[in-house]
Amino acid sequence: MNMTELKAKAAQIRMDLLNMIHTAKTGHTGGSLSNTDILTALYYRVMKLDPANPKWEERDRFIASKGHSVESLWSILADLGFFPKEELLTYSQFGTRLIGHPNNKVPGIEMNTGALGHGLPIAVGMALAAKRDQKSYRVFCLMGDGEQAEGSNWEAAMAGAHYKLDNLVGIIDRNRLQISGTTEEVMGLEPLEDKWAAFGWNVVSIDGNDMEALVEALEAVPSVPGKPTLLMANTVKGKGVSFAENVPHWHHHVPNEAELELALSELAATLEGLKQEGQVR
């Protein structure tokens, strides 16, 4: 996909996840909207994947450590054909596979996540296995910024640098909000980039809602031989829906009928503008 197509796809994924959350009457709206651009760049441009063969040995691995923001991931996996798109209507319903966190009963999901701080340690193990087995696949792990208060992340950071895992990419969805307020009020993180650099990682800071910047940074991996990369993706919580952006209440707010209609109209306008550029298939 070219850049215009990626931006259009991100707008469509945002519409899909909002419909899914509204139908289910539950979900983590703000974080799913903020990470949509990251996941779109990964799944439609950067990662080696085969939806027809989800266990392909050479596939790149993705771990959603911030598992609660799963709605964007479910929408993308369905759109790519890992499972039927109609199944999105069952999200969080009784008996569904599509629960409120990644579930490895679903094709395309490497591991169950949800307990914050667990994703990066597993990603380190996967990347180390690739090195020892002389495999070329890369491992991408998306973390929340509130999740950086978990000590297990820092143990994993030490291990990733110690084993020189340049096939490992940690991505922090740095939207600066968590369920109970701003990250700096709840548990101060700054200087976060300096901390990761001190742990031996190559740190790249970008606008995490800028598709060009995301693709450039992600396609450069491994950018420093012998070092894992930490992508500090500075995002806006609730991105794409004007009245949800940077509003803590939208962490897990379910849009009502009027809010859904307004949000979808904003995203439809974004999508139409991109289509008028003439490069969207």
Beta strands in the chain (DSSP E): 61-64, 139-144, 168-174, 177-178, 181-182, 202-207, 229-234
Q: Which of 203, 128, 199, 138 is nearest to 172 (CA)?
A: 203
Residue keyed to tokens 């039927």: 84
Q: Is residue 22 part of a domain?
A: yes
Amino acid at 126: M
Taking the C-alpha atoms of residue 6 and residue 147, their distance in angstroms, rounded to an integer, is 28
Residue 240: CATH number of its domain: 3.40.50.970
Q: Is residue 199 part of a domain?
A: yes
| Residues 26 and 92 sit within 8 Å (Cβ to Cβ) | yes
Amino acid at 7: K
Taking the C-alpha atoms of residue 145 and residue 153, their distance in angstroms, rounded to an integer, is 11
Give strand pairing partners of 223: none
Q: Is residue 138 part of a domain?
A: yes
Q: Is residue 281 part of a domain?
A: no
Q: Which of 192, 131, 205 is nearest to 162 (CA)?
A: 131
Taking the C-alpha atoms of residue 205 and residue 243, their distance in angstroms, rounded to an integer, is 26
Taking the C-alpha atoms of residue 124 and residue 182, their distance in angstroms, rounded to an integer, is 28
Can you give the pTM of this predicted structure?
Answer: 0.96
Taking the C-alpha atoms of residue 29 and residue 269, their distance in angstroms, rounded to an integer, is 20
Q: Which residues contact 132 (CB under 8 A, 6 or more apart)?
A: none
pLDDT in tens, 27-41: 999 999 999 999 999
Q: Give how many domains the chain has, as a whole number.
A: 1
pLDDT for the residue 108:
97
- Return the ∠ at Cα 163 (arms to 161 and 166), rounded to 5°: 70
pLDDT for the residue 207:
98
Peptide bond before 228: cis, by omega within 30 degrees of 0? no
pLDDT for the residue 216:
96
pLDDT per residue rounded down to tens, the chain (281 residues): 999 999 999 999 999 999 999 999 999 999 999 999 999 999 999 999 999 999 999 999 999 999 999 999 999 999 999 999 999 999 999 999 999 999 999 999 999 998 899 999 999 999 999 999 999 999 999 999 999 999 999 999 999 999 999 999 999 999 998 888 888 988 999 999 999 999 999 999 999 999 999 999 999 988 899 999 999 999 999 999 999 999 998 999 999 999 999 999 999 999 999 988 765 65
Q: Is residue 20 part of a domain?
A: yes
Q: Is residue 225 part of a domain?
A: yes
| Residues 110 and 47 sit within 8 Å (Cβ to Cβ) | no
Q: Is residue 280 part of a domain?
A: no
pLDDT in tens, 99-135: 999 999 999 999 999 889 999 999 999 999 999 999 9
Q: Is residue 222 part of a domain?
A: yes
DSSP 45: I
Beta strands in 91-201 (DSSP E): 139-144, 168-174, 177-178, 181-182
Range of the domain at 144: 3-275
DSSP 59: P
